[in-house]
Structure 1
């Protein structure tokens, strides 16, 4: 998922959102219930760009069909070193329809949870304000 990696590393919010399917499901490392939909997923990823410092991908593992990728990253959140992985699945159009994140160690997961909780009202507001359908062409 080279395009996604490049968009994140460039901190290009529009390019990131353009790679998300309308029916994408985001599974957080710190929330039990997945978040369905492009608007909320894009809002969460914008919050991640605000919260995660020194973010960089260190490895990209993609299956032979190019449909499933694991992007291993490192970052700092609230002074804690975070190692994590974005698991991405793309649909027939090449858009991300499944997005699962895992982080370690536990102290970093707690830091991520606390930092993202502070973003939650803004995430909800941004997701609610987003158009219900965006044309990406």
Structure 2
């Protein structure tokens, strides 16, 4: 469960100078995307993280990518293009996507250039 009440309480106590800080503003955008379940925005922000923020996000971004993948598999039938997955999951290339999927027990035929969502709709994807 996403504990948003604690964060909302803390946001009320922030002074304007803290909000205008680059990293603090970035973290607020991250929290907004995460709390709304906007995975595309979250992963795009991760790709443009200022300073060392990306390293902090590395602690949870893999879990969020996996949750997004589960949502994609449930929503797209019969399949989805690998190029779209690479873009949405903010992975470097097709090789990185294939490795990401293999770690979660999903096999993809690269020659078809699609992920068969029907095949994996009812499996438990590994986190």
Structure with the greater alpha carbon radius of gyration: 2
Assess same fold via TM > 0.5.
Answer: no
Bigger relative contact order (CA 8 A; separation at least 6): 1
Tell me the TM-score normalized by structure 2.
Answer: 0.25
Higher strand share: 1
Tell me the TM-score normalized by structure 1.
Answer: 0.23
